[in-house]
Amino acid sequence: MTRKLVQALPPLAAFTVLLLLWEAGVRYGFLKPYQFPPVSRIARGFVELSTTGFPTGVSIWSHALTTILRVLQGYGAALALAIPLGLVIGALPVVDKLTAPLIVFCRSVATLSLLPLVIVWFGAGELTKVFLIGYGCFWVMLSNVIAGVRYVDPTLVRAARTFGLKGLELYRSVVLPAALPRIFAGARMALGVGFMVIVGAEMIGTIEGLGALIMEARTFYRSEITIIGMLVIGLIGFTISAGLMALERAMLPWAGNLDRVRR
């Protein structure tokens, strides 16, 4: 316990010194407060954001909720489509080979480059954002599910075959569980993509959501609000990703080092 405290001391001290220098730099005129809003101003900005809101009436929590809901809708839809599809494609080698280059290309298409096209399809509303998140998450998830199913340790399959398992039964009781760590890894990667896409998508044609908040704040010279928004985005991403890790650990207690399942 005390050792942990001692270990945390140098970074904490460094961090505090950095913030103090920053604050002092602004006070004594070395740094422009607009470019480097001091901690005191960020704190006041946070109070304003969580009470009155920015723009007035829309608190930081409501921005955050909007963003989270958008991500979850697109992410959820992507997972709901990609997991079953990937499980099927991965089980059929011929279909996998037919679709492989197509999937690689679709994954290479920069998700946000679709924005102008998707606006033509769905207008600049909610559906466009959810679609973009879904697109980005879908291909990442799909390729991971397929890889998970395809690259199951062949000795495990052989071992199961010695007990007479084949076909669907072999798939269900051996291939599927063996693919789970990779599927979970894909889910975590896809979530990262989702958060990346939403921030970009919200910067165009909307005033709600954290991406819109940080962009709007800039045009009103409220850089402290931009910084708060960034920190909240980081915090949400971090929390959800940690939640997924915990879920993974609870659901796959047998998989030792989860970071090692990356290929």
Within positions 17 to 36, which residues make up the interface with another protein, using CB under 8 A? Answer: 34-35
Using the contact rule CB under 8 A, the part of the chain among 48-56, 73-81, 83-91, 151-159 near another protein is 151-159
Distance (Å, rounded) from C-alpha 226 to C-alpha 222? 7
Alpha-carbon distance values, 202 to 35, 132, 192 (Å): 23, 11, 16
- Residue 156: CB minimum distance to another protein, A: 6
Site for another protein in 197-256 (CB under 8 A): 199-200, 203-204, 210-211, 214-215, 217-218, 223, 226-227, 229-231, 233-235, 237-238, 241, 252-256
Site for another protein in 1-20 (CB under 8 A): 7, 10-11, 14-15
38's tokens: 């001091």
Contacts within 8 Å (CB) and 24+ apart, 97-103: 103/139, 103/142, 103/143, 103/146
Site for another protein in 166-195 (CB under 8 A): 169, 173-174, 177-178, 180, 192, 195
C-beta of 114 vs 137, nearer to another protein: 114
- Residue 116: CB minimum distance to another protein, A: 4
- Residue 41: CB minimum distance to another protein, A: 14
Using the contact rule CB under 8 A, the part of the chain among 49-57, 68-76, 143-151, 161-169 near another protein is 161-169
- Residue 47: CB minimum distance to another protein, A: 21
Alpha-carbon distance values, 238 to 42, 145, 151 (Å): 21, 23, 29
- Residue 161: CB minimum distance to another protein, A: 5
Kindly determine how many residues on this chain lie close enough to bind another protein according to the rule CB under 8 A: 78
Site for another protein in 115-134 (CB under 8 A): 115-117, 119-121
State yes or no: cis peptide before 55, omega within 30 of 0. yes
Q: Residue 107: which H helix or E strand, with range?
A: helix 93-108
Distance (Å, rounded) from C-alpha 226 to C-alpha 36? 11
Side chain identity at 80, as an amino acid letter?
Answer: A
Distance (Å, rounded) from C-alpha 242 to C-alpha 236? 10
End-to-end CA separation in angstroms for the chain: 35
Site for another protein in 89-118 (CB under 8 A): 94, 97-102, 104-106, 108-117
159 is a contact residue toward another protein (CB under 8 A): yes
C-beta of 60 vs 115, nearer to another protein: 115
CB 193 within 8 A of CB 143: no
